[in-house]
Amino acid sequence: MADPDQSDIGGEPKLRFRNDEPHEEPAVTLDSFLGQSNATAVRLESDEDARALLPHIDRLALVEVAFPKFRDGRGYSAGRILREAGYTGELRAQGDVLVDQIPLMLRCGFDSFAPEASVDAKTLAEALSRYTAVYQKAADARRPVWALRHG
Amino acid sequence: MYKYDEYDQAIVDARVEEFRDQVRRRLAGEISEDQFKPLRLMNGLYLQLHAYMLRVAIPYGTLNATQMRMLAHVARKYDKGYGHFTTRQNIQYNWIKLDEAPDILAELATVEMHAIQTSGNCIRNISSDQFAGAAADEVEDPRPWAELLRQWSTFHPEFTYLPRKFKIAVIGAEEDRAAVKLHDIGLQLHRNDAGEVGFRVFVGGGMGRTPMVAPVIRDFLPKADFLSYMEACLRVYNRYGRRDNIYKARIKILVHEIGAAEYARQVEEEWAHVKTLGLDAPAAEFERIAAFFAPPAFETGLSDTIDRSDPDFAVWLDQNVSAHKAPGYAVVTISLKPTGGIPGDATADQIDLMADLAERYSLDELRITHAQNVVLPHVRKADLYAVWQALDASGLAAPNLDLIGDIIACPGLDYCALANARSIPLAQKISQRFAATQHDLGELKLKISGCINACGHHHAGHIGILGVDRKGVENYQLLLGGSAAEDASLGRITGPGFDEDGVVDAIERAVDTYRSLRTEGERFLDTYRRVGMAPFKEAIYG
Ligand code: SF4
């Protein structure tokens, strides 16, 4: 896993697990994205359907998914749905994103984070390295335990 | 029984270290109680009225003697010398100190146990039939599937912040001993017309303030697609389950609001996609797990004769011993409901004794039941008398399985911060009142909840009791006609509530009514279903 780039570029994203340059264009709402043929960055609210983006995946470079409360887990499904459809651009989790949630979000395909509260770098590093094995196949490259067991 | 390999152990050990660090951050003041709460809840640690409560998972209710002894050790060293077995086949300790909780988890991990996902809005501990692998009426042992589910659901990245908690039960028999239709997902292994074994899938059952019996959303799910189908069921719920109102957030409300057919359609659509992602574990993995649950080496040529000359033993034998699939063996249920006792409680010494008996007489296996009892699944009939004597000497031979004294009760106001009324003292009074007559009353499942959250399954009791708060005074509503078994149904409220003594009297009038109306072989529930509420209501309030 790449080291997160913690440099604070324009206030967000605060944590980035990608090597490409951050996307310049600001994210627009889903409605305006669907109404414009040239937008390349979109923000998805937690009650919006990620599948609405699937016909436009090729022109998308940034999808920002809102997490209004840490308890609201809809964005985890949104992330996976986009990755399962082949989206390779930046997938950002923004909002009430807690340090203990970041490892799960990475597994759901998120690769950049804009948490509202500050994230302690040491706690995050520990959280990211803690679990050496995972039980499920998800949107990341990790091989589940059942695959390791049966080589 | 399942044995951890290096991966399983590493995951549980990592969890202990993670939790130790979280507790350290909390005790050092680095995080507030608000920030700590979701973290401790994911580890089964609740802040209750008097202390912390720790809920330890007993996956699908199966454990061995070493694990059982560890539960006794935790009770002795970290609690007040007892533990409380719950309706979800787990154990709770009610007097835990926060700074000791990580040590408890570390000790549990040494015997392949944990408290992972015993609370929080995630997939909870998987429950199952306590007679799995022993029952005479079984199509197939459900526990390998339950273990596969345990692994799949552990730290599932997409389903750890669901709208609400999520409970799954798996059974492999026609008789439903695990209340599958009252779970968020209930799975029943059965054989289809082509002779293949697969799952019948029930979704959207539950208790709480809006009880529902789950509809079937798929009659036959092939085994190979098991996990991807679960993934689809959960994804539809995670995306569309209500998050605006905590009381409407369980999957039962979603299924009810859009209808079972529409929910099933959405699942099928999602599944068509999810199935292509390669999420299902290979058959080899299922076989690896299933090998741990291969039938133990039952002795052959054993006698089926039992000496019934001790009358007290004979009463217990008839009530608490069930048919086993292997000749010469029987299934023993140890009732944790002695007359006047606290349902589901066991002392450390009793837990140790049950562990000893399991090791000596039950091929090192124990089960916990959703009715808060303990099972010795594989006892030779020739050993039953010795087992009974040992139990009797420790106050564990109450011969009341499935009788009115075999009460399910939640912790209620004695422990629970959400309670409106006490459950335990009421259970004790009822158990005393009917101790002498319970055998004549036959099967009669009585269930008590201390508030509308229904942890005591009152909706599913042949007789149910719900504690409510009436202008600051504890008050009890009485329900009749519920069932958690294969004939699942929800109880109906009789009418105005009662005080503690009043509700015991009302139950007495209800069972007297049953006695006067029953026909040969009819249980309380059967009579109620035949004659309806009216005669009971008249007797209770008339
Ligand atoms: S039913 Fe209510 S009182 Fe009883 S344990 Fe559940 S929340 Fe507590």
Distance CA A56, CA A143 (A): 29
Which B residues in the span 117-136 are in contact with A, Cβ-Cβ below 8 Å? Answer: 121
Put simply, the answer to whether B243 touches A70 (Cβ < 8 Å) is no
Closest partner residue to A146 among B38, B39, B282, by Cβ? B282
Q: How confident is the model at residue B542 (pLDDT cuts 50, 70, 90)?
A: confident
- Does the C-beta of B449 come closer than 6 Å to ligand 1? yes
Ligand 1 pocket: which of B85, B165, B410 to mutate (most atoms <8 Å of CB)?
A: B410
The DSSP line for B118-184 is SSSSSB---EE-TTTTTBTTBSS-SHHHHHHHHHHHTT-SSSSS-SS-B-EEEE-BSS-SS-GGGSS
ipTM: 0.93
Which carries the bigger pLDDT value, residue B479 or residue B49? B479
Bridge partners of B316, per DSSP, are none
Which carries the bigger pLDDT value, residue A9 or residue B412? B412
Put simply, the answer to whether A70 touches B161 (Cβ < 8 Å) is yes
**CATH number, position A36:** 3.40.50
Residue-range domain boundaries for chain B:
6-109, 134-290, 311-393, 408-541
Residues above pLDDT 70, as percent of chain B: 100
Q: What is the pLDDT of residues B453-466, one digit of tens each?
A: 999 999 999 999 99
Tell me the mean pLDDT in the region B105-131.
96
Closest partner residue to B243 among A72, A84, A107, by Cβ? A72
Tokens 């106050």 sit at which residue? B395
Q: How far is CA B384 from the centre of its chain?
A: 26
A5: pLDDT strictly greater than 70: no
Q: Whose CA is nearest to atom 6 of ligand 1?
A: B455
Of B229, B252, B68, B28, the closest CA to residue A123 belongs to B28
- Does the C-beta of B451 come closer than 6 Å to ligand 1? yes
Tell me the mean pLDDT in the region B481-494.
95
Q: Measure the N-to-C terminal CA separation of chain B; round to a whole number of Å.
A: 54
Bridge partners of A92, per DSSP, are A64, A112
Q: How confident is the model at residue A7 (pLDDT cuts 50, 70, 90)?
A: very low
A4: pLDDT strictly greater than 70: no
Residue-averaged pLDDT of chain A:
90
B515: pLDDT strictly greater than 50: yes
**Ligand 1 atom nearest B449 alpha carbon:** 1
Which B residues in the span 34-73 are in contact with A, Cβ-Cβ below 8 Å? Answer: 35, 38-39
Q: How confident is the model at residue A2 (pLDDT cuts 50, 70, 90)?
A: very low
Q: Give the DSSP letter of residue B483.
A: B
Distance CA B118, CA B52 (A): 14
Q: How confident is the model at residue A126 (pLDDT cuts 50, 70, 90)?
A: very high
**Chain A residues touching B246 at Cβ < 8 A:** none
Which carries the bigger pLDDT value, residue B460 or residue A7? B460
pLDDT the model gives residue B526: 98
Is residue A1 domain-resident? no
CATH fold match for the domains B6-109 and B134-290: no
User: Is the CB of residue B374 less than 8 Å from the CB of residue B351?
Assistant: no
User: Is the CB of residue B404 less than 8 Å from the CB of residue B504?
Assistant: no
A11: pLDDT strictly greater than 80: no
Compute the half-sphere exposure of residue B133: CA atoms within 13 Å on the CB side of its CA.
Answer: 30
Distance CA A78, CA B392 (A): 57
**SS (HEC) of B165-230:** CECEEEECECCCCCCHHHCCEEEEEEECCCCCEEEEEEECCECCCCCECCCEEEEEEEHHHHHHHH
Expressed as residue numbers, the domain containing A84 is 6-149
How many contacts does A have with B, using Cβ atoms within 8 A? 94
Q: How confident is the model at residue A13 (pLDDT cuts 50, 70, 90)?
A: low
Residues above pLDDT 90, as percent of chain B: 92
Query: Which of B207-211, B406-410, B457-461 has the least mean pLDDT?
Result: B207-211
User: Is the CB of residue B75 less than 8 Å from the CB of residue B108?
Assistant: no
Q: How confident is the model at residue A10 (pLDDT cuts 50, 70, 90)?
A: very low
The C-alpha of B194 sits at a distance from chain A's nearest C-alpha, in angstroms, of 30
pLDDT the model gives residue B38: 85
Query: Which among B161, B240, B292 is the top mutation candidate for probing chain A, defined by the most A β-carbons within 10 Å of its own β-carbon?
Result: B161
The rounded radius of gyration (Å) of the Cα atoms in chain A is: 15
Is residue A73 domain-resident? yes
Q: How confident is the model at residue B269 (pLDDT cuts 50, 70, 90)?
A: very high
Question: Class of B134-290 per CATH?
Answer: alpha beta
Put simply, the answer to whether B157 touches A137 (Cβ < 8 Å) is no
pLDDT the model gives residue A9: 36
Q: What is the pLDDT of residues A85-111, one digit of tens each?
A: 999 999 999 999 999 899 999 999 999
pLDDT the model gives residue B136: 87
Distance CA A85, CA B236 (A): 17
A3: pLDDT strictly greater than 60: no
**Ligand 1 atom nearest B454 alpha carbon:** 1
Residue-averaged pLDDT of chain B:
96
Question: Which CATH architecture does the domain made up of B6-109 adopt?
Answer: Alpha-Beta Complex (3.90)
Q: What is the pLDDT of residues B136-177, one digit of tens each?
A: 889 999 999 999 999 999 999 999 999 999 999 999 999 999
A128 touches chain B (CB under 8 A): no
**Ligand 1 atom nearest B451 alpha carbon:** 2
H runs (alpha helix) in B367-497: 384-393, 424-433, 438-441
B94: pLDDT strictly greater than 60: yes
pLDDT the model gives residue B175: 93
- Does the C-beta of B453 come closer than 6 Å to ligand 1? yes
Tell me the mean pLDDT in the region B333-355.
97
Number of domains in chain A: 1
Q: How confident is the model at residue B47 (pLDDT cuts 50, 70, 90)?
A: confident
Put simply, the answer to whether A131 touches B282 (Cβ < 8 Å) is no
Is residue A39 domain-resident? yes
CATH superfamily name and code, B408-541: Sulfite Reductase Hemoprotein, domain 1 (3.30.413.10)
pLDDT the model gives residue A12: 58
Task: Report the sign of the C-alpha dihedral through residues B469, B470, B475, B478, in that order.
Answer: negative
Q: What is the pLDDT of residues B6-26, one digit of tens each?
A: 999 999 999 999 999 999 999
Q: Whose CA is nearest to atom 2 of ligand 1?
A: B451
Q: How confident is the model at residue B50 (pLDDT cuts 50, 70, 90)?
A: confident
Tokens 């609210």 sit at which residue? A45
